[in-house]
Structure 1
Amino acid sequence: MDLRVTLKQLEAFEAVATHGTFGRAADALGRAQPTVSKEVRALERTLGTELVIRQARPTRLSPEGVELLERARAALTATALFERTARDLGERAASHLTVACSPSIANRLMPHLLQRLETEGPKLTVLEIGTGQVEQAVATGEADLGLAHFARAPQGCRRIHLGDDPLVLVGHPDLLGDLRTTQDLASLDETPLPVWPRENHPAYFDAIMTGLLRRGLEPHTLLQATDRLSGSHGYLLGQGRAVAVVPVDAAESLDPQLLSLPLGEGADVPFDAVIPHPPKAVVDLVLATCRRIHAELRGGGEQG
């Protein structure tokens, strides 16, 4: 026999058994009485057996109905548990965010964000990836939120500006100690500059180069580095063999013996968020917290 029992049929049968009449069962379910009667008859046709003796007053179950009632109730209980578990999982997923961010943001802002949201917000998983890759992580669904400098908005995503970070020139005191101003950096033309490949993020790369050219510096050697200047190319900075231009938060994660000189007016990079459309409901809270922490860090206020 091809059994095609529906939940509505089981609910109608259980309600009739519990309340004794089709009328009271209909009231309990919030359905019309003919609808409840139709569902029970459909269940009986599907099972090939009479479940309810309708001539009795009040209505009572047939022997087969009595035997199947507990099975019906078990099925309804299991379904309710399934639905509740699914809701709980959905709520848990909705309150969890995977945040993709560039290393400089992971080093500086993210610890404050994680600490702040321990009691105030959703659980975060941090996905630390390179410049130019944050947006793609959001676009592909690998991350629910992206934080990056000079972020772009892929199709189906939206960029939100959270603030600005000044660019700083970083290097060994032997190279930078005698500089009187960062408005004239021509003396550093022969000093290698580690920077990621332009194709990783053309707009960001061009902003750095434009800022240097306006200050008289045209580096003759560009080292194709990663974002992680504190890693593979960090020794060049520490030995006075290179200088770098990074956002101020990235400079704060480098060797404290290095000098960091602000490039000055007009040498800022935007700090942005990238979110999918539509975003998770908790994204607004996280963005507001990011904006507040960023302002505090830039302004020297509270940092925890």
Structure 2
Amino acid sequence: MAVHLSSALRRLAMGLSINNPYTDEIRQNFPQAFDQAVLLKPVLENQYQIQMNEDELAFISLHFEAFFERHSEDARLSVVVVCSSGIGTSQLLGQRLAKTFAQELRITRIIALGELLATPIKESLVISTIAIKGLSVPVIEVSPLLNRHDIGIIRQMITEQPTPTNHLVALLQPELTIVTQEQLTDQGAIELICQRLIDQGYAKPTVVQAALAREALASTALGRVALPHADSQLITKPAIGLLIAPQSINWQHNDKVQLVFFMALNETVHGQMRAIYHDLDQLIETPRLLKQVAQASDGTAALAILAQLNQKN
């Protein structure tokens, strides 16, 4: 990022800017990273006397996203591969597993049976070429050649794993969900949902001004969805407020927003941030659910629809 910023600052100091053809896609796909770039904007502008547009912010946000990716948790099942010797056949098996289940399994160790029995098992699953009993984690016995039958058994095991937690719904509350037919501006929508958060004890009174100030830096609208928020210090307990406006709200950049998710998050959910934004991205990429939520009659109905996120088919 330092190299990129050095070049960008020199360019902007001369009044030059470059077009980013992927700005809209970056804003939608990496909202958390884009928000970090937005928060950096006033610092850079004040210190270097420059003006940064959203194209420049989108480039910077890619560096934040790369950092988040490097430090994100791997959601794949962790696996230890075992055979009688730990050499040859297990290496072959490990390679075939990695190729066949690249998106589902993360192989942490390829070892011999003796080593497995002598060390704690931290993995979620043991895949072995020999029979093993009495372990605290599931064991799947397979051929070193990983035939179709073996693949079928492993896929069944993966399918039977618990459904991932819906982090988005876990932070939504019926009392923080508003359905309105009123014609609102973006400012009016933020004020309405912030007041609900304040009244219910989730945020401090100054959250309204802080959220409006953040929105003034750059729009949080992503098509039909907006994600306003404020400084985490103003959040007394984490939650996500939801305002549903079937008639649409005229947001910045002429976006027609129907769902406003106010991200009232603080440090107590810091470790869940990536998962929360992942669920939001899943929602944005599912027009059917977006439409259903926008047409929900009340908060309870809306949350029931959102609960369909992450459900296995």
TM-score under structure 2 length normalisation: 0.23
Tell me: higher relative CO, structure 1 or 2? Use CA pairs within 8 A at least 6 residues apart.
1
TM-score under structure 1 length normalisation: 0.23
Larger radius of gyration: 1
